[in-house]
Chains A and B, each alone.
Chain A
Amino acid sequence: MKTNLIQSFINTQNFLPYHKKGREFDLDHELKNKTFMRPLKGNGYLIKSNIFDAPAIMVKSAVYDINALNHSVKGKANDHELGKMNDLGMKVGGLAIAGYLFTRRQTPMTKAMEFVGLGSFFASMALWPKIALQIPARLIHGFNVQQQYVDSMGRKKPFFQDPQFLPWDLYSDDEINKIGDRMGVPRNIENRRDFIQEKMKKIAIQNNTLWMLTAGFATPVMSALICNQLEKPLGSLLSANRNNANNHILNHFTKSVNNTNDIIKNVNNLLSINQNQPLTEKLLKQLSAEMTKGFDSPYVTDAVTQDLKGLLDTKTFVIDDNSIKTIIKGSRDALKNLVDDPDAIDKLVMNSEDLTHYFDYEKGYFLNSQTPAQINKIFREYQNLMLKRLEDYNKTAANPLSEETIMQIQDRLLFAPQKNNPIYKGLTQETYTVLDANNQKTIRFIAQALNDLRAELSAAEKYLMNQLGQAPETTIADYWNNTVKTFIECLNLSHKQMEAVRGDRLAVAELLRDSYDRIASDKKLYNQVVSKLVKQISKINKLIKQTDVNDNILTNDSKATKFDARIDAIFNKFAKTLKDIPYFENGNMECIIREFIGSGNSALSPENHNGSYKDVYKVMLKERLLGVKSSFYRILNALDLHRRIAVGDKKYITSLHDLPREVKEEAVELSKGLGINAHTADFFTKFFSKRHPKPNVQDTDEIQLKNGKTVYKYFNKQKHTKRIDIPQDASFFKQVMSLQYKESLLDETEQILKPYKELYGEFLKYRELVFHQIGNIHYIEKILHKVDLANNKDAGCSLNSKTIFETIGAATDEIVHNYCKQTYNTDKWLKMFGTTGAVLLGLTVFAQFFFGRMKTPKPIPQTPETNKDN
């Protein structure tokens, strides 16, 4: 037991024991000494709030903070109020960080996550002590270690903040005794309240220390975990919002157009600066650039420049500073190779000041309109001037120019043909069309048309990007992610399997092969998997309605979609405006119309204007849609193929009839492999596969099946079987592709697909398309394979890299490989920091069982009286 030094000191004094007298109250004495004057009773109280009080507390705190800020600015704040300013600063700083990073992020989700991150960090700071310390301590020890109180001045403070100053009087005896009972403190000890208070204080000190030691570990981890968990619901919310916004754009297009006047404003600025100035090439380019700002195409800008040139060309010229610069530069360049002495060049070629003086003050040509005839006259005058300067130079120079040099100078500079003559070039460089009121009107009219077009296209682009853009957060990206996730769920891959294959695409292909075979060998499982997959894949037609947007290839509907019709309407309106242009005298708007809509007189007609600006809008989304659909239809087709082979019914594998068993096995293997790992590039190069150059043609048996899985007799059994190509065997590839895409679908597959009419129709068309385009002899540039070209009715069908890319889609093993990598990374992170968080929480809670250990004082000996009382 610890010795109380003060007590031991008193004991050493040998004082006589002090006998406490009975209390005698003497009113006169009390009044005389004013001992009745005691401090006023405090107004402080313990805060006993629950979650429902949170809003009121938040409002109260906010009001307090505002007052504190006000007092601090005036320099009148107290310590408590100043302390609040630190919290305020932290929040302001946090908001500044989130705000800055918000502007750096590209997508709504990543932008929103910046603020979620900030919120979760502050939430973690507040939640960790509650979850890991306050609640466990309450359950273990029976009181709130994070108790707060309001002092007499109305300031909210943590009760156990300063262990040397604890306002115990705020706890009633009943409350303290109740806590003591919960702690198991015996009732019959001396100074029970003091003992309980000491115990509470000890526990609070220990808890506060533990808080300081654990918060640093816990807050970032907890914050990151909260963010991780919030991503999914936030994604769903943003996705729903985006879909609604997209529908609104398409169905209420006019309302969705944000009528900005950026182009008009900028063009007007430029016009006002250059009013009645010569319309030079440079100015024309500036105007075109401003008029086409946002179209993001140099071709469009060039087209506008071309049309404006035609519109404004009046075939008169002006000599200005630029002309003088060109004349001087051209002259000096011409003389450089002929005259060695730089001083001679300086003397022969006038500087810009002198030349300006010559054209302006001496001749009066500067900045005035000159016809071509006048320019010729000026050119001749200048030639004479130069000849005179040459003559004068030779008279005075120490080293005069030779006759030959003078002749060369005359040839190359003065009398050179007009198109190569630097002087003539300079004189005719700047056309003299001024930006008069009429020209300004025309330019403003075209600018207005382009401005309106830009505004409408911006709305269309927003729709296009949100639906099918190549970005992380679009309708199609969400659909892709969800479908891949469903597919992986169907494959039932474990975390361990994903970890094993994440670094090796070939291993993924093998894993997929096994999974497909496993699924195909079990009818029930096959039906479950395909049903689930079909249900998910079919969602594309709900998310992106075929009437709104379609690929026009797999979809049977030939009617223009809403989006296409809208794009046509936008561009037609623009073309019509330009056709009806007033003040239109010189040239026409052919270049602009051709660039935007297409060539020819039928520019107003929406059909067949490949390569125009308009087509980019239409084609882009069709290609995106087709590529995504092909990727998932390929999975369905591969599963159907595996199941058809597993069933073993001849009617589903007619392509293999009459083939030797060995070739059948090779064809089945290649077909299964192509369904999983065939890449677009494969169709450009080769199809090396494991084949026997001289198969056993005598054996024409069917492939043996065991429990729905193929049992090969030949494939991979021969030592010399390698991945090879047999050029003369042109039919093998066709048989392989027929087996995959031309055979009838399995009844089971059809039954699952039929309820999804749109999907079913598209899927059949997809199979037809793939076989037609790349399952035929045209797939590959190998002359020997084109043996039956003469008999092929589809000869001449075009096949290009884009078509192959869109019909093949993404290789399934690549999709799964990417998913495995990403999932592994996320899981690894979660495992690492989730475990850290869990262990930390466990240790923090566990440690609290050992807190507050104190030696309990001995109970007061029980006398017969007390026994009787009890």
Chain B
Amino acid sequence: MILPVSSNLNQKTDFSAEKSDEKKQKYNHDTLLQNNFSTRFRIGMDKFTNAITLYPAKGLKGNRNANFYEFLTMGQVPYLIGSGMLMAVFNGARHFFSPDAQKAAAPLGKKMALGVIFYGLAKEFSKNLVTSPVHWITGVDTNLPYAKVNYELPDDIYDTDITSIEYHKVFESVEFPRWDLLYMDSSSGKPRNTYFDKVAKKLGLGTNLKDSDQEVKPRIKEIVVKTNLAQNLSSYLWAATGVALAFQKPWEEFFNVATLKFWKPKEFGKSLSIFAKSLERSLYNFYKGDGSKYSKYTGKAMIFTSLAASMLGVLNVMSSSLKPSKLDSGDIIEKERKYVVN
């Protein structure tokens, strides 16, 4: 006996096993996001909370849905714990020392701790020295984020939550960038190639190109590779500069009054003002040197090397061996035919 197909279809079988009113994910398909502070903050917090709660729990259970994204996201855990541990290694035992030994060890330990903080800050913020100019000049934002909807296998019959949101970057992979997200949807009312037109214009490839996407894709790939290289190398040099800055003597003045007790406004305000002064003096000391043999060169060398790394990185991004195609796109593109991206 052959059963009517319609009876099966009426069951509306859903592989997600999710009842429509049980859970609403913010995104139901891969969605391009705006790269602004709010999005970055939200993504950062999402990743951070997942990295310290959900992903370790999944990982320790050996969950079959655990994936590389989660592993990479958890990568910030050793960074954060490691930073705290580094501070502890240099400061933890000090409190058990005799007062004179404490006094002797404190400045070095505190400089180490400050160095750890400056390392992280300098590494993170210095990336903008490369990515921002590249964005302004080329129109390619290498950090452009998107939300990826990930379908998982249910853990058990009661597991209705089989989607998860991952936050990636469009150009995370230079081999497989998410070009599809860069094309304009017909509902937007904008031309399909708006993004590529804009990049092409910025890159000086001309305007009103019929196939701007095909022209700029190789160039964008090249920009992404070079930008990633520049931000990787320069950010570590800036991080090293941050550590070196933390090792300047004027910080000792700040250490004497440093407090995080913001509920005591007077002390906290004083601490902040001394921080600013110490920062200024430390920068001066770092740049000019403290009178020792090499110090008048080393500070300058570190600052200018880092600066040069960022600038050369951007300059390298600007130079390209790729030339625009000499062929008129009209010769190779059949205008009447519908094309499918990727």
CB of A77 within 8 Å of the partner chain: yes
Closest to B320 in A: A75
B98 near A502 with CB under 8 A, answer yes
A6 to B64, CA, bound (A): 16
Q: How large is the interface on B (under 10, 10 to 19, 20 to 34, 35 or more residues)?
A: 35 or more
A-contact 0/1 string along B255-273, CB 8 Å cutoff: 0000000000000000000
Q: Please indicate the chain A residues that have their CB under 8 angstroms from the CB of B74 in the complex.
A: 209, 212-213
Contact of B8 among A13, A97, A833 (CB under 8 A): A13
A813 to chain B, nearest CB (A): 15
Q: Please indicate the chain A residues that have their CB under 8 angstroms from the CB of B228 in the complex.
A: 72, 82, 85
A5 near B302 with CB under 8 A, answer no
Q: Please indicate the chain B residues that have their CB under 8 angstroms from the CB of A77 in the complex.
A: 174, 225, 229
Residues of chain A from 151 to 201 with CB closer than 8 A to chain B in the complex: 161-165, 198, 201
A71 to B92, CA, bound (A): 45
A73 to B228, CA, bound (A): 10
B71 near A75 with CB under 8 A, answer no
CB of B96 within 8 Å of the partner chain: yes
Q: Please indicate the chain B residues that have their CB under 8 angstroms from the CB of A78 in the complex.
A: 174-175
A92 near B236 with CB under 8 A, answer yes
Given A13-B8, A209-B56, verify A89-B244 contact (CB < 8 Å).
Answer: no
CB of B60 within 8 Å of the partner chain: yes
Contact of B77 among A86, A201, A212, A824 (CB under 8 A): A212
CB of B247 within 8 Å of the partner chain: yes
A73 near B15 with CB under 8 A, answer no
Q: Please indicate the chain A residues that have their CB under 8 angstroms from the CB of B226 in the complex.
A: 72-73, 75
Which stretch (B19-27, B79-87, B181-189) binds chain A?
Answer: B79-87
A650 to B66, CA, bound (A): 86
Residues of chain A from 39 to 78 with CB closer than 8 A to chain B in the complex: 69, 71-78
Q: Please indicate the chain B residues that have their CB under 8 angstroms from the CB of A852 in the complex.
A: 62
B82 near A215 with CB under 8 A, answer yes
Residue of A69, A162, A216, A822 ringed by the most chain B CB atoms within 10 A: A216
B243 near A216 with CB under 8 A, answer no
A507 to B89, CA, bound (A): 30
Residues of chain B from 90 to 124 with CB closer than 8 A to chain A in the complex: 92-93, 96-98, 101, 105, 123
Contact of B62 among A3, A72, A203, A828 (CB under 8 A): A203
Contact of B80 among A3, A71, A100, A216 (CB under 8 A): A216
A162 to B71, CA, bound (A): 8
CB of B128 within 8 Å of the partner chain: no
Given A75-B223, A216-B77, A220-B89, verify A503-B156 contact (CB < 8 Å).
Answer: no
Residues of chain B from 43 to 85 with CB closer than 8 A to chain A in the complex: 55-56, 58-64, 66-68, 71, 74-75, 77-85
Closest to B67 in A: A164
B156 near A2 with CB under 8 A, answer yes
CB of B180 within 8 Å of the partner chain: no
Interface residues of A, dominant DSSP: helix
Closest to B321 in A: A74
Residues of chain A from 227 to 250 with CB closer than 8 A to chain B in the complex: none
B11 near A89 with CB under 8 A, answer no
Contact of B156 among A3, A6, A12, A216 (CB under 8 A): A3
A832 to B90, CA, bound (A): 12
A3 near B157 with CB under 8 A, answer yes
B56 near A97 with CB under 8 A, answer no
Given A92-B233, A92-B237, verify A216-B85 contact (CB < 8 Å).
Answer: yes
Q: Please indicate the chain B residues that have their CB under 8 angstroms from the CB of A217 in the complex.
A: 81-82, 85
CB of B316 within 8 Å of the partner chain: yes
CB of A591 within 8 Å of the partner chain: no
Q: Please indicate the chain B residues that have their CB under 8 angstroms from the CB of A163 in the complex.
A: 64, 66-68
B126 to chain A, nearest CB (A): 11
Residue of A9, A82, A220, A828 ringed by the most chain B CB atoms within 10 A: A220
CB of A839 within 8 Å of the partner chain: no
A829 near B93 with CB under 8 A, answer yes
A88 to B235, CA, bound (A): 12
A82 near B101 with CB under 8 A, answer no
CB of B133 within 8 Å of the partner chain: no
CB of B298 within 8 Å of the partner chain: yes
A833 to B66, CA, bound (A): 33
A104 to B105, CA, bound (A): 17
CB of A205 within 8 Å of the partner chain: yes
B60 near A209 with CB under 8 A, answer yes
Contact of B237 among A93, A104, A165, A829 (CB under 8 A): A93
Closest to A81 in B: B225
A103 to B291, CA, bound (A): 12
A677 to chain B, nearest CB (A): 19
A704 to chain B, nearest CB (A): 40
Closest to B61 in A: A206
CB of A112 within 8 Å of the partner chain: no
A75 near B62 with CB under 8 A, answer no
CB of B139 within 8 Å of the partner chain: no
A96 near B237 with CB under 8 A, answer yes
A75 near B221 with CB under 8 A, answer yes
B240 near A100 with CB under 8 A, answer yes
A220 near B67 with CB under 8 A, answer no
A212 to B235, CA, bound (A): 23
B82 near A220 with CB under 8 A, answer yes
A84 to chain B, nearest CB (A): 10
Q: Please indicate the chain A residues that have their CB under 8 angstroms from the CB of B320 in the complex.
A: 75
A-contact 0/1 string along B143-154, CB 8 Å cutoff: 000000000001
Given A74-B321, A92-B237, verify A162-B67 contact (CB < 8 Å).
Answer: yes
A342 to B221, CA, bound (A): 76
A2 near B157 with CB under 8 A, answer yes
Closest to B299 in A: A100
CB of B239 within 8 Å of the partner chain: yes
B161 to chain A, nearest CB (A): 14
CB of B155 within 8 Å of the partner chain: yes
Closest to B123 in A: A93
CB of B17 within 8 Å of the partner chain: yes
Q: Please indicate the chain A residues that have their CB under 8 angstroms from the CB of B236 in the complex.
A: 89-90, 92-94, 96
Residue of B105, B293, B298 ringed by the most chain A CB atoms within 10 A: B298
CB of B3 within 8 Å of the partner chain: yes
CB of B132 within 8 Å of the partner chain: no
A100 to B11, CA, bound (A): 70
CB of A101 within 8 Å of the partner chain: yes
CB of A309 within 8 Å of the partner chain: no
B101 near A6 with CB under 8 A, answer no
CB of A312 within 8 Å of the partner chain: no
CB of B222 within 8 Å of the partner chain: yes
A93 to B239, CA, bound (A): 7
Q: Please indicate the chain A residues that have their CB under 8 angstroms from the CB of B58 in the complex.
A: 209
B170 to chain A, nearest CB (A): 14
A210 to B58, CA, bound (A): 11
A73 near B229 with CB under 8 A, answer yes
CB of A654 within 8 Å of the partner chain: no
B309 to chain A, nearest CB (A): 9
A316 to B13, CA, bound (A): 115
A163 to B82, CA, bound (A): 25
CB of A79 within 8 Å of the partner chain: yes
A205 to B123, CA, bound (A): 29
B117 to chain A, nearest CB (A): 14
A273 to B78, CA, bound (A): 61
CB of B295 within 8 Å of the partner chain: yes
Residue of A85, A201, A210 ringed by the most chain B CB atoms within 10 A: A85
CB of A617 within 8 Å of the partner chain: no
CB of A224 within 8 Å of the partner chain: yes
A421 to B65, CA, bound (A): 98
Provide 27 A-B residue pairs closer than 8 Å at the C-beta atoms, listed in order of the A residue. A2-B156, A5-B17, A5-B154, A12-B11, A73-B229, A76-B225, A82-B225, A82-B232, A85-B229, A92-B236, A93-B235, A100-B243, A101-B247, A103-B295, A162-B67, A163-B68, A202-B62, A205-B63, A206-B60, A206-B61, A208-B59, A209-B56, A209-B66, A215-B82, A216-B85, A220-B82, A852-B62
Q: Sorted from nearest, which 6 A-B pairs have the closest CB atoms?
A: A216-B81, A209-B59, A93-B236, A75-B222, A202-B62, A96-B240
Other contacts beyond A93-B235, A205-B59: 6, CB < 8 A: A2-B157, A161-B71, A205-B66, A213-B81, A216-B83, A221-B85
